[in-house]
Amino acid sequence: MKAFQVPRPEIPTAAGYLSFRGDQSPLPLGGLGAGGVGHSSWGGFGPWTLDAGEQIAQVLPACQFSLFEQPLDGIPQAYVLSSNLNADGEILSRWQTYPDRHCTERLLFPRSWHKYEGIFKSEIVCEQFSPFWAGCYQETSYPVGVFNWTFHNPTDEPITLSLMLTWQNMVGWFTNADKQTPGRYQPKWQESTGNFNQWITDHFRVGCLFNRVRLYDELQEGEGQMAIASITNPALEVYHIGRWNPEHDGGEVWDWFARNGMLPDQQDETPAEPGEQVASALAIRFTVRPGRGKKIPFFLAWDFPVMEFAPGVTYFQRHSDFFARTGNNAWTVVRTALKHSDVWREKIMAWQRPLLERKDIPDWLPAVLCNGLAQLVDGGTIWTAGTETDPIGQFARINCHVDDQPCYEHLQARLVDSFVLVMLLPRLDKAVLETYARAINPTGTVPEHLGSPRHHPWQQVGIAQDVSPTAARGRASAFVVQVYRDYVLTGVTDSEFLWECWCAIAQALELEVGADSVNPLWPVALAAAVKIGQAIADAPPMNPALEPETYPESILNQIKQYETQLQQITETPKNQETIVAAFYAQILGLEAQVGDRISIQFAQDFAHHLPNDVSTELGLLSAAYLLSQGETETAWAIAEKYKASRAASLVYWILYGVLTDFKTA
């Protein structure tokens, strides 16, 4: 019988390149709402977004993969698989960094590949990913990264290799040390007193659990666990150091590893003293025969389930719905990943396959679409555990800055940047709009955004300083059309979602009665409100509390009111909102009610000559409108101009939505 051969990783041709010292961030590993960790071949691990709404750009020199290689009767060599340890002075000075420009990185979120060439005799590729695919509301929240390392021996003699992962215990760091100064963030970086490392042998799983002595009965933000892990079997040798000092020269690890790929197998669970840092190391040693290959998986997991915003304002993260809310589940996450990671990978590939196989899109588009999704992990996203009111949890992204402060789900910004959620995770987008519906007060004031990371998101919402009728009408319009958009693009069946928002819609539109100014989106909002009213007039709510006392008469009266207002609008101004209004009217089938369809020439001119105060997002929306009108060549030419803009990358999903009728989940 022919022996099984480990296949070489297949890297999709659409995967984008990341230059060895490029200005592009590495793709994050981690879960939606659980934060992320970047991993690059030139600087190790970082940035870190493990504290909700915050990013720490620092890189820890001790957190690294390293590789030892020795051909039969050959000279051994060992390198940290990073060209820059970012270490100062004598810190880890004994470690040998990997030569520059001998690694290629390819990116297609949530997967990426590091290919190491020209230094080792072995062919080495690391494929890394976290579970993320359309329509997934469970695994997508898991705080875990998977590293599938493959090694092939192209020579005619056996090669002994050893892959090591070193990690510093950073439990307790990811929380604000200065909770008394409003708006200030100072993480507890390198405050490691009480941190300790535990070596774990769990059947065929081995690894290190990073823990901390807890001072309080109630779990605090930043408390929990991290873990690194791999596998063991008769063909693998496992070595470890349970506790070493990452602020010395690193010789206690490197002198062993560089000699023969081994470690001294020392266990030490002594907690760190004040001012002390502790780290651990795990090495897997093996031999690859001539012409053969071997696959070695590693895992990084964490469990920091508590998010704190303003002092005392805490929520549990979404992943705690599937793991206990104790902060003791990092190893359980490892077990889950080891059992299911192959299935996750297949689901990721199945989700991406239709996109990668399309022939009617530019070659550059798949990478822009997929890699832009990294913002959902490392862009300050928060996602809470479910409650009776919000079974899927509350969700929010940082998508704008107001007065130099980050804010969640800016209502008018999400007119163009939230299509990605509608297409991939529509229940989360509906959750955001239901939160807006609850936040609209009885006077009809529509919030500008859902708050900021250092206050109380969802409760302390942003009320705009601009209270002019035009601005208020713009926010009301943005809310109404997004509600109807989510209803239409998810199958025209979710009347319960409409009921959850109806009272707020009526309040928001009531505020506008008698206002003198008309913005381009206002008639679209009125037409959408008519359609929403017609839908719920024939479908009583399942929740009796949402049904008006005089149902359906009150709904029918409101429909007539909106129809009358719509008929009274004779003209709207042409400005930057015109393209938004035209696009929404088209995709929602409201052009007949709204009229005043813009010309293709207007869209082209708008996209080519964006005013200085208009974002590239609106340029991309113009391209999407032109694509929907059959102006394919012009649309893609406009879209290509902005493909380097990471900030606007999520908006490209609108163009893909035009091609797919917004159906991808």
- Beta pairing, strands 405-408 & 237-244: unpaired
Length of the chain: 665
pLDDT > 90 in the chain, percent: 77
Given pLDDT bands bounded at 50, 70 and 90, which one contains residue 162?
very high
Per-residue tokens: 90: 């004598």
Residue 513 has pLDDT above 70, yes or no: no
Q: Is the pLDDT of residue 413 over 70?
A: yes
Where residue 23 falls among pLDDT bands split at 50, 70, 90? very low
Largest CA distance in the chain: 89
Give per-residue pLDDT as tens, 548-576.
Answer: 999 999 999 999 999 999 998 887 778 77
**Which residues touch 142 (CB under 8 Å, ≥6 apart)?**
31, 34, 130, 131, 319, 322, 333, 336, 337
pLDDT computed for residue 225 by the predictor: 98
Q: Is the pLDDT of residue 66 over 50?
A: yes
Q: Could you tell me the pLDDT band of residue 663, with boundaries at 50, 70 and 90?
A: confident
User: Which 8-state DSSP code applies to residue 624?
Assistant: H
- Containing 344, the helix (H) or strand (E) segment is helix 330-357
> What's the pLDDT at 516?
56
The tokens describing 490, both together, are 């998810």
What pLDDT was estimated at residue 376?
94
Where is average pLDDT lowest: 2-6, 120-124, 140-144, 609-613? 609-613
Q: How confident is the model at residue 612 (pLDDT cuts 50, 70, 90)?
A: low
User: Which element (helix H / strand E) includes 354?
Assistant: helix 330-357
Tell me which range, 175-189, 366-380, 486-500, is most confidently predicted by mean pLDDT: 486-500
Beta carbons of 558 and 514 less than 8 angstroms apart: no
Using only C-alpha atoms, the chain has a radius of gyration, in whole angstroms, of 27
| Paired sense of beta strands 279-288 and 159-168, if any | antiparallel
The predicted pLDDT at position 611 comes to 58
Name the residue among 376, 473, 363, 477 with its Cα closest to residue 419: 376
For 205-240, what is each residue's pLDDT tens digit? 999 999 999 988 899 999 999 999 999 999 999 999
Highest mean pLDDT among 252-266, 498-512, 570-584: 252-266
The whole-number average pLDDT for the span 3-23 is 74
- pLDDT, position 25: 72
Q: Looking up tokens 């690193």, which residue turns up? A: 250
| Region for residue 504 given its phi and psi (left: phi exceeds 0; alpha: psi -120 to 50; beta: otherwise) | alpha
Hey, how many other C-beta atoms are within 10 angstroms of the C-beta on 260?
Answer: 15
Per the prediction, the chain carries an average pLDDT of 92
The count of C-alpha atoms lying within 13 angstroms of the C-alpha of 83, restricted to the half-sphere facing its C-beta, is 14
Element (H, E) at 304: none
- Report the run of H or E that residue 39 belongs to, with start and end: strand 35-40
State how far the Cα of 318 lies from the Cα of 384, in Å rounded to an integer.
Answer: 5
So what's the pLDDT on residue 545? 93
Which domains, and CATH codes, for the chain? 60-345 (2.70.98), 411-597 (no CATH), 599-665 (no CATH)
User: Can you give the pLDDT at residue 632?
Assistant: 95
pLDDT of 574 reads 80
Is it the case that residue 580 has pLDDT exceeding 90?
yes
At 517 the pLDDT is 60
Q: Model pTM?
A: 0.95
- Say if residue 614's pLDDT is above 80: no
Is residue 44 within 8 A of residue 63, CB to CB? The reply is: yes
- Cα–Cα distance measured from residue 27 to residue 371, given in angstroms and rounded to the nearest whole number: 7
Can you state the angle between helices 632-641 and 652-660, rounded to 10 degrees? 160
> For residue 603, is pLDDT > 80?
no
Phi, psi angle pair for 430, to nearest 5°: -65, -35
Report residue 43's pLDDT band, with 50, 70 and 90 as the boundaries. Answer: confident
Task: Report which of 438, 561, 430, 559 is spatially closest to residue 497, judged by C-alpha positions.
Answer: 430
Instruction: Tell me what the mean pLDDT of segment 397-420 comes to.
Output: 90
124-136 as b/e: b if 16+ CB within 10 A: bbbbbbbbbbbeb
Evaluate if residue 507 carries a pLDDT over 60.
Answer: yes
pLDDT tens-digit readout, 354-372: 999 999 999 999 999 999 9
Query: How high is the pLDDT of residue 596?
Result: 64
The answer to whether the CB of 32 falls within 8 A of the CB of 140 is yes
161 CB-near residues (< 8 Å, 6+ apart): 67, 68, 69, 70, 122, 151, 261, 285, 286, 287, 288
d(CA 35, CA 147): 18
The answer to whether the CB of 408 falls within 8 A of the CB of 396 is yes
Cα 278–chain centre separation: 29
